[in-house]
């Protein structure tokens, strides 16, 4: 049924027009809101007008770029009514007076992240630094446990097979034989895990896994490697001076450690730890202690720990905390002492050059000094030779440090949010 007031199609069983509220009976007024006589008007005229309105509504791209909404039917109070289910060709997708139907919506602008307060930067820096330190130790623990399990399994199999060949199957049921097997397995596992080859293998594997994990974190954060760990090219050739300075610094620290009256237990612990590491082929020790270990430790303790701490606290405080954390990672008291001192210098070099390559090169030079200065560090070297080597090392370190400190070799930091 067609309403005589608004000319909208409605269901036949309705008595009131759902669009304008007029009665849908035969005795309804003959005139609509515009005063037209609906009984004598040609209904096709209104259908043609509605078809034209629909065409105008669909043609939304005017020559002047403006948009003119279609002539939609109105109620007496002037509100728009979107016809639902009529058959006169209205644009059902039109939603006046809002929306972007027929028009290009504005470009999406992502919300701007508000800047962090000082307290937020402080706790955020500490949290991220602690997470990277935990990642470093987690990788080492996982690799050590995996190697321990493999060594224990192989050793147990070998010892058990040996007892079976000597004493038969009773070795598996007699408590005395079982205790003997356990004791021999524990001793052989300890010897294997304190062997220099195994220790260097653990160090190499854990270093590779740690670096891969850090790179994965940067990938998740959608950062480039350069921005994530400050792997920028150096701005000056003077970065090469950190290598001889590191070699000289290592000899100075060794002589300083020898002067300090350490307790015998601490000295013995230090010697045992580093004698285990040195008891391996030269190429394996160089790969582990001279290359991979310095690279991994600088990525963790300088790029990740120090780099995050300095965003929420003064540079000096960040340097001290990162250096002390770096020292504690070495475990042995004497190593904690010189590693903390070395960590302060590494943080300064990192800050000075603005690239992780500088502390990496310094750390590599420091560790390689054990092999470079071997002729002047043997037990048979006289005291006069040691003093001459110490004087030369002091001069080299002072000259290189002065050139670096007096030169403008750094770069400005590219601020990023975690």
- Phi and psi at residue 16, to the nearest 5°: -130, 135
pLDDT in tens, 29-69: 544 444 444 444 444 554 555 555 555 555 544 444 454 55
Query: Helix, strand, coil proportions of the chain in percent (round to 5)?
Result: 65, 0, 35
CA angle 57, 90, 53 (to 5 degrees): 45
How far CA 14 is from CA of 7, 10, 79, 82, 90, in Å, comes to 14, 7, 22, 18, 21
pTM for the model stands at: 0.70
How far CA 387 is from CA of 150, 174, 252, 317, 377, in Å, comes to 48, 63, 10, 35, 11
- pLDDT, position 139: 96
The three-state (H, E, C) secondary structure of 242-285, written as one string? HHHHHHHHHHHHHHHHHHCCCCHHHHHHHHHHHHHHHCCCHHHH
| Contact predicate 282/330, CB 8 Å | no
- pLDDT, position 26: 62
Cα 120 to its chain centre, rounded Å, is 18
Percent of the chain with pLDDT over 90: 41
Could you tell me the sign of the dihedral formed by the alpha carbons of 87, 92, 94, 96, in that order? positive
How far CA 28 is from CA of 11, 22, 38, 148, 321, in Å, comes to 16, 8, 10, 96, 89
- pLDDT, position 56: 55
Ordered by start, the domain boundaries in the chain are 1-103, 118-405
Average pLDDT by stretches of 10, the chain with 418 residues: 68 68 63 46 50 53 48 48 46 46 59 80 93 96 94 90 81 80 88 85 95 94 88 91 96 90 87 72 90 96 94 92 94 91 95 94 94 83 89 95 88 48
């Amino acid at each position: 049924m067609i309403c005589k007031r608004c000319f909208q199609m409605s269901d036949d069983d309705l008595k009131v027009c759902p669009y304008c509220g007029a009665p849908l009976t035969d005795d309804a007024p003959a005139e609509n809101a515009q005063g037209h006589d609906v009984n004598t008007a040609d209904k096709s005229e209104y259908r043609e007008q509605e078809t034209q309105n629909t065409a105008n509504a669909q043609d939304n791209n005017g020559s002047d770029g403006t948009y003119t909404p279609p002539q939609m039917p109105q109620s007496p109070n002037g509100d728009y009514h979107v016809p639902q289910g009529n058959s006169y060709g209205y644009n059902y997708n039109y939603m006046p007076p809002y929306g972007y139907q027929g028009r290009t919506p504005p470009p999406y602008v992502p919300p701007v992240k508000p800047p962090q307060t000082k307290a937020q930067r402080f706790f955020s820096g500490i949290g991220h630094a602690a997470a990277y330190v935990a990642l470093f130790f987690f990788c080492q623990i996982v690799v050590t446990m995996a190697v321990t399990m493999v060594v224990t399994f192989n050793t147990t199999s070998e010892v058990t097979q040996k007892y079976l060949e000597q004493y038969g199957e009773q070795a598996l049921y007699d408590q005395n034989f079982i205790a003997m097997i356990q004791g021999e397995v524990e001793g052989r596992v300890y010897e294997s895990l304190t062997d220099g080859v195994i220790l260097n293998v653990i160090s190499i594997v854990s270093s590779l896994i740690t670096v891969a994990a850090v790179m994965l974190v940067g990938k998740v954060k959608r950062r480039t490697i350069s921005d994530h760990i400050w792997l920028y090219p150096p701005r000056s050739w003077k970065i090469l001076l950190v290598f001889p300075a590191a070699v000289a610094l290592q000899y100075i620290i060794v002589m300083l450690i020898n002067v300090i009256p350490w307790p015998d237990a601490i000295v013995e612990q230090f010697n045992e730890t580093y004698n285990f590491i040195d008891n391996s082929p030269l190429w394996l020790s160089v790969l582990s202690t001279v290359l991979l270990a310095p690279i991994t430790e600088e990525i963790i303790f300088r790029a990740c720990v120090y780099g995050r701490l300095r965003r929420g606290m003064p540079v000096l405080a960040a340097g001290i905390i990162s250096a002390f954390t770096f020292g504690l990672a070495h475990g042995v008291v004497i190593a904690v002492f010189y590693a903390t001192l070395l960590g302060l210098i590494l943080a300064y070099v990192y800050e000075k050059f603005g690239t992780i390559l500088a502390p990496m090169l310094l750390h590599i030079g420091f560790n390689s000094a054990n092999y470079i200065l071997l002729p002047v560090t043997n037990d048979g070297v006289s005291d006069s030779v040691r003093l001459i080597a110490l004087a030369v090392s002091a001069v080299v370190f002072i000259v290189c440090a002065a050139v670096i400190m007096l030169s403008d070799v750094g770069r400005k930091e590219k601020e990023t949010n975690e």
